[in-house]
Amino acid sequence: MAIPIRVRIAFFGFAVVALTIAVFSVLLYSLIAAGAPEGQEQQLRGLRNFLWLSAGITLLAVSAAMWVMAGRALRPLEEMARAADEIGHARDLSRRLPAGRANDEVSRLTASFNGMLARLEEAYRQTADALESQRRFVSDASHELRTPLTSIRSNAGFLLGRPDARPEDVRAALEDVAEESGRMSRLIESLLTLARADAGLHLDRTAVDLEALVREVARQVMALHQDRSFRVRVLPDAGGSRASGDAPDLGTVLVSGNEDALRQLIWILVENAVRHVHQSGTIWLTLSRRGGPSEGETGSLVWLQMADDGVGIPDADLERIFERFYRADASRTGEGTGLGLAIARWIVTDHGGRLWARNNELGGATFTVELPAAEEVPDSPTPAEATADLGTPRLSSSS
């Protein structure tokens, strides 16, 4: 059976004081007895009894004092143990122990205990948020997958149950099946990408010519959406802009990144803009360089801005649109899966950059991608194709 610390402290103090008094009494008695004349045995006996009585009273007083002092010294530890038990039973990690007034060991232990509670509370909150996010993610994913599956099942049932259906009805049902199958395939691919991101996947990076990549995507998207106007402007430095008809100066807008992921990022932002601008609307892609020695900074950044003159985003949703499956009001919803901007945010973050949105002066939205610039030149640069109209003023944004 373990002896309580308070008893051990009191016993140790008692032992030290008892030994001291015993040694002192023996020495005092010996000195007095050695110098006393003969025939005074009775006086020496009285002195001896007085010394023992005084020693006993002193030991009792010292023991009581040691017991009280040990109890006062150990009281914060008892309160700490009691508080830990109560916190464990109540699971209330917001409780804290009162800070000690003196800068002693117990006060430092109390501060450490409160710091541990704060870290546990933060870890518990993050775990709870992660579990809630995962629960909401699974629920939203199930809902999003249920919609195309329901459409496919109903159309398949129609085709099986109506062998004599009109050819145009059969064609319409097959087109619905193909469309919903493609939507479900895109959704599953997006879910797989986000699952890999949650698992800690990091992209391999090399020096990428972002200007060539932007022009390539702009050329492809212009061919797909000829009813929209796409305008690209490249501002590689503070010295001015460069038109598409000029001889391309490759390597001026380099980033350290994954080319496939950056291409996917640009496509996500372009398709998002296409869905939310009216027919004959305009989308601006602006590529520029920020920072560097000319602006008094050690590093250099590359900005890619995607602006449109369509429907803006409610201010309360400017950050929430990057959440998985979150959609703003109905005016900015379309045929997407609700995962594109979440994937875009992950791609930018994995590249060590930032992605944010704001409403611009044209009434539409502006998405800004900020990436660290690369200094080295790519091994095999791809020539940029001059295909976009560059005569539009640059749209800027502030973080």
Residue 112 has pLDDT above 80, yes or no: yes
Nearest one of 83, 81, 58, 70 to 3, comparing CA atoms: 70
Same domain (yes/no): 344, 251: yes
Per the domain annotation, does 178 fall within a domain? yes
Same domain (yes/no): 194, 224: no
Tell me the per-residue pLDDT of 332-347, one tens digit each, with 9 for 90 and over. 444 556 788 888 898 9
Per the domain annotation, does 283 fall within a domain? yes
CB atoms under 10 Å from CB of 209, counted, come to: 25
* Helix/strand/coil for 149: helix
CB atoms under 10 Å from CB of 214, counted, come to: 24
Tell me the per-residue pLDDT of 242-271, one tens digit each, with 9 for 90 and over. 444 333 343 467 888 888 889 889 988 998
Tell me the per-residue pLDDT of 360-398, one tens digit each, with 9 for 90 and over. 888 889 999 999 887 644 443 333 333 333 333 333 333
Residue 240 has pLDDT above 60, yes or no: no
Same domain (yes/no): 67, 49: yes
Please report, as a single letter, which amino acid is at residue 7: V
- The first and second tokens of residue 243, run together, are 């038109």
Of all residues in the chain, the percent with pLDDT exceeding 90 is 7
Residue 184, domain extent: 119-198
Same domain (yes/no): 127, 168: yes
Higher per-residue confidence, 26 vs 128: 128
Per the domain annotation, does 339 fall within a domain? yes
In total, how many domains does the chain have?
A: 3
Per the domain annotation, does 389 fall within a domain? no
Q: Is 242 exposed, middle or buried (0-12, 13-18, 19+ CB in 10 A)?
A: buried
Q: How far apart are CA 266 and CA 187, in angstroms?
A: 18
Per the domain annotation, does 112 fall within a domain? no
Per the domain annotation, does 386 fall within a domain? no
Same domain (yes/no): 341, 227: yes
Same domain (yes/no): 320, 295: yes
Per the domain annotation, does 344 fall within a domain? yes
Per the domain annotation, does 380 fall within a domain? no
- Are the C-beta atoms of 386 and 248 separated by less than 8 Å? yes
Same domain (yes/no): 66, 175: no
Distance of CA 141 to the CA centre of its chain: 22
- Are the C-beta atoms of 314 and 329 separated by less than 8 Å? yes
Same domain (yes/no): 354, 269: yes
Give the long-range contacts of residues 222-227, CB within 8 A, separation 24 or more.
Answer: 222/387, 222/388, 225/274, 227/279, 227/280
Same domain (yes/no): 87, 219: no
- Are the C-beta atoms of 290 and 300 separated by less than 8 Å? yes
Q: How many Cα atoms sit within 13 Å of 42 on the Cβ side? A: 1
